[in-house]
Structure 1
Amino acid sequence: MYRVLFTKEAAKSLKQMPRNTARRVQEKLAILAQDPYASQNNVTKLQNRPGYRLRVGDWHMIYELEGEQIVILVLKIAPRGEVYR
């Protein structure tokens, strides 16, 4: 099982998003922590930069896997139009 860590920006975004969306994001992260490579997670490897993208509704999370430490570091959570900026 992976441990999920958040950057300050990602944690702040999670607190500010609608409660029902935040709950869905946390549920997806719990599944992701069990198996980050599972196909039902709707995960895509990013092009032109390291990391992965997890989509939950209209919200996207950018994260990296740190294999040696078994950590998922969530870098950013934002609506699609803002997440890649």
Structure 2
Amino acid sequence: MERFELQFHRNAAKAFQRLPETVKQRIEEAIETLRINPFFGKDICKLKGDLAGLYRLRVGDYRVIYHVDEEHKVITIEAIGTRGEMY
């Protein structure tokens, strides 16, 4: 199975860099699993309403919001933060 390429939106990259090292490591591991299948998983949810078309990956108290371009096999990480910061 072909893996998806990962890209970070500039704001998501900045938010990621500000996280504690332990949280960064957990998020990196979780994001890496998205490259195999970004649509299904225990902590993956397709978003609705204003965020329709995006997916949410839960990593502990943090949320990773991302978009999947199936045609080009690209996942774009749009935002990273706590639940309170995301919604």
TM-score (norm 1): 0.92
Aligned residue pair count:
83
TM-aligned CA deviation for residue 37 of structure 1: 2.7
Q: Which runs of 4+ in 1 moved over 2 A?
A: 37-40
Alignment of 1:6-85 (within 5 A): 6-40=8-42, 42-48=43-49, 49-84=52-87
TM-aligned CA deviation for residue 5 of structure 1: 0.3
The runs of 5 or more residues in structure 2 that have no matched partner are none
| Counterpart Cα distance in 1 of 2:76 and 2:13 | 11
Please provide the CA RMSD for this pair. 0.9
TM-score (norm 2): 0.90
| Counterpart Cα distance in 2 of 1:20 and 1:68 | 34
TM-aligned CA deviation for residue 39 of structure 1: 2.3
Of Structure 1 and Structure 2, the greater helix share is in 1
| Counterpart Cα distance in 1 of 2:68 and 2:74 | 6
